[in-house]
């Protein structure tokens, strides 16, 4: 599927919950209000949307949240999505706290790769950022995933004065383990607006100074806009996702589906296209009168129309650099980061 700017849209990020077992200060601090469970897409509904999306060319899915592993049966959802014709890859982004517990079931259900959020290697800083003392559980999830041969990417959001000084230690994990480490610039979404980002441009310069033989790693990895470099002899690469200091909108390939059944053309803007309406709205009551096969085909066509509409509404680029132009007001955990 191509959007109005000729970009191929073949990737969808699906938020399956707005709940989380951590309280990262820039994402979901204490006291945030949660959506009632009955307003959240069921797994059957998510699969129905994905069946329609796959017929339009969406071939790669990322399960996110909130924290996807706090929703019961998350591994089985992955199994359901993997069976959809045309879906080539299903990956997940997690805070890693419950990863080791669920890893066997995730692997059984065909998870293709995992992104694990890890902003710090220091237990006190971890507690300061996430509000919890579970760094060892995350390390265990990383260890077991690597041992199982699952492709692993660690994602770090740096904050000056908190974990900003850990960038080199985090980058050097790629010299010790076969995994990639990516630095994501703090985006002015939700509570992220209150934080100053660490510039990836500056980080890259510092990394080049430290390793003059640093080489760009051109092999395509993952679904996103990261640019990768490799420290000589390292086992993995260091990636930079620079929403602010390296606008990557020209290569945007994605749609987002929120846990409440809305398609988001772009993270920066509040505009959404409602698909829940097709599944649960007035029209769906009319569909109930139809024969099962006619009903499924009718709903699929309507879903495809909405998905195409969302793709058609993708803007040329975000405007994170101009605060007044950012119209998305919800938190990252509510949208699906
Ligand atoms: N709970 C899972 C996790 O932590 O990976 C999945 C959801 S979380 C919202 C996905 C990613 O979004 C995390 O890596 C988190 O650090 C990142 N994130 C949250 N708020 C952000 C912001 N304002 N700017 C950049 N990244 C952000
Ligand atoms: Fe939870 Fe992930 Fe947000 Fe942290 S970044 S609060 S782990 S959803």
CATH of the domain at 184: 3.20.20.70
Task: Answer yes or no: is 262 within a domain.
Answer: yes
List, in sequence order, every residue forming a beta bridge with 117; answer none if it has no partner: 155
Question: Tokens representing 33?
Answer: 């209000």
Q: Is 65 in the pocket of ligand 2 (CB under 6 A)?
A: yes
Q: Using an 8 Å Cβ cutoff, are 233 and 175 in contact?
A: yes
Which of 318, 332, 333, 334 for a ligand 1 pocket mutation test, highest count of atoms within 8 Å of Cβ?
Answer: 332
Residue 64 has pLDDT above 90, yes or no: yes
Range of the domain at 308: 11-335
Residue 135 has pLDDT above 80, yes or no: yes
Q: Using an 8 Å Cβ cutoff, are 294 and 276 in contact?
A: no
Strand order in the sheet with 227-230: 215-217, 227-230, 238-241, 180-184, 152-156, 113-117, 89-94, 60-64, 11-15, 254-257, 262-264, 273-274
pLDDT (tens digit per residue) in 73-100: 999 999 999 999 999 999 999 999 999 9
Q: In total, how many domains does the chain have? A: 1
Task: Answer yes or no: is 1 within a domain.
Answer: no
Q: Is 28 in the pocket of ligand 2 (CB under 6 A)?
A: yes
Q: Using an 8 Å Cβ cutoff, are 262 and 45 in contact?
A: no
Task: Answer yes or no: is 5 within a domain.
Answer: no
Residues written for the chain: 337
CB atoms within 10 A of CB 212: 7
pLDDT for position 296: 80
Distance of CA 196 from the midpoint of ligand 2 (Å): 18
Q: Is 3 in the pocket of ligand 1 (CB under 6 A)?
A: no
Which of 14, 23, 24 for a ligand 2 pocket mutation test, highest count of atoms within 8 Å of Cβ?
Answer: 24
Q: Is 117 in the pocket of ligand 1 (CB under 6 A)?
A: yes
Q: Is 95 in the pocket of ligand 2 (CB under 6 A)?
A: yes
Of 125-134, 154-163, 185-194, 234-243, the poorest mean pLDDT is in 185-194
Q: How far apart are CA 335 and CA 189, in angstroms?
A: 10
Task: Answer yes or no: is 2 within a domain.
Answer: no
Counting ligands in written order, the one closest to the CA of 192 is 1
Q: Identify the residue whose C-alpha is closest to ligand 1 atom 23.
A: 192
Task: Supply the mean pLDDT for the chain.
Answer: 91
Average pLDDT of the residues in 213-239: 87
pLDDT for position 30: 77
pLDDT (tens digit per residue) in 306-333: 999 999 988 888 877 776 777 766 777 7
Average pLDDT of the residues in 34-54: 96
Most confident by average pLDDT, 1-5, 67-71, 190-194: 67-71
pLDDT for position 281: 77
Task: Answer yes or no: is 6 within a domain.
Answer: no
Q: Using an 8 Å Cβ cutoff, are 10 and 307 in contact?
A: no
Sign of CA pseudo-dihedral 19, 25, 30, 35: negative
Distance of CA 131 from the midpoint of ligand 2 (Å): 11
Task: Answer yes or no: is 95 within a domain.
Answer: yes
pLDDT (tens digit per residue) in 186-220: 888 777 777 888 889 999 999 999 999 999 998 85
Nearest atom of ligand 2 to the alpha carbon of 94: 2
Task: Answer yes or no: is 229 within a domain.
Answer: yes
pLDDT for position 167: 96
Distance of CA 286 from the midpoint of ligand 2 (Å): 39
pLDDT for position 102: 98
Q: Using an 8 Å Cβ cutoff, are 100 and 79 in contact?
A: no
Average pLDDT of the residues in 7-20: 95
Q: Is 337 in the pocket of ligand 1 (CB under 6 A)?
A: yes
Q: What is the pTM of this model?
A: 0.94
The phi, psi pair for 274, rounded to 5°, reads -80, 125
Distance of CA 93 from the midpoint of ligand 2 (Å): 10
- Please give the residue that has the higher pLDDT: either 246 or 183: 183
Task: Answer yes or no: is 29 within a domain.
Answer: yes
């Amino acid at each position: 599927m191509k959007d109005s700017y000729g970009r191929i849209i073949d990737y969808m990020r699906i938020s399956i919950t707005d709940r989380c077992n951590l309280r990262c200060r820039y994402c979901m601090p204490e006291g945030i209000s949660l959506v009632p469970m009955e307003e959240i897409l069921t797994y059957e509904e998510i699969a129905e949307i994905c069946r329609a999306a796959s017929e339009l060319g969406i071939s790669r899915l990322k399960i996110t949240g909130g924290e996807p592993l706090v929703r019961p049966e998350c591994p089985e959802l992955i199994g359901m999505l993997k069976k959809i014709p045309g879906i080539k890859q299903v990956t997940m982004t997690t805070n890693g706290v419950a990863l080791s517990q669920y890893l066997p079931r995730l692997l059984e259900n065909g998870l293709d790769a995992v992104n694990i959020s890890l902003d710090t290697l220091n237990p006190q800083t971890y507690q300061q950022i996430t509000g919890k003392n579970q760094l060892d559980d995350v390390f265990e999830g990383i260890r077991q995933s690597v041992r199982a041969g699952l492709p692993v990417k660690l994602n770090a959001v740096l904050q000056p004065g908190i974990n900003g000084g850990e960038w080199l230690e985090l980058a050097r994990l790629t010299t010790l383990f076969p995994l990639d480490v990516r630095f994501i610039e703090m985006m002015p979404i939700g509570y992220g607006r209150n934080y100053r980002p660490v510039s990836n441009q500056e980080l890259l310069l510092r990394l080049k100074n430290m390793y003059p033989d640093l080489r760009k790693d051109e092999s395509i990895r993952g679904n996103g806009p990261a640019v990768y470099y490799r420290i000589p002899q390292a086992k993995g690469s260091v990636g930079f996702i620079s929403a602010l200091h390296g606008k990557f909108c020209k290569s945007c390939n994605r749609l987002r589906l929120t846990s409440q059944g809305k398609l988001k053309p772009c993270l920066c803007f509040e505009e959404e296209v409602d698909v829940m309406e097709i599944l649960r709205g007035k029209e769906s009551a009319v569909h109930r009168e139809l024969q099962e096969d006619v009903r499924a085909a009718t709903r699929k066509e309507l879903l495809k129309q909405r998905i195409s509409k969302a793709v058609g509404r993708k803007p040329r680029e975000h405007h994170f650099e101009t605060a007044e132009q950012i119209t998305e007001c919800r938190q990252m955990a509510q949208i699906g980061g």
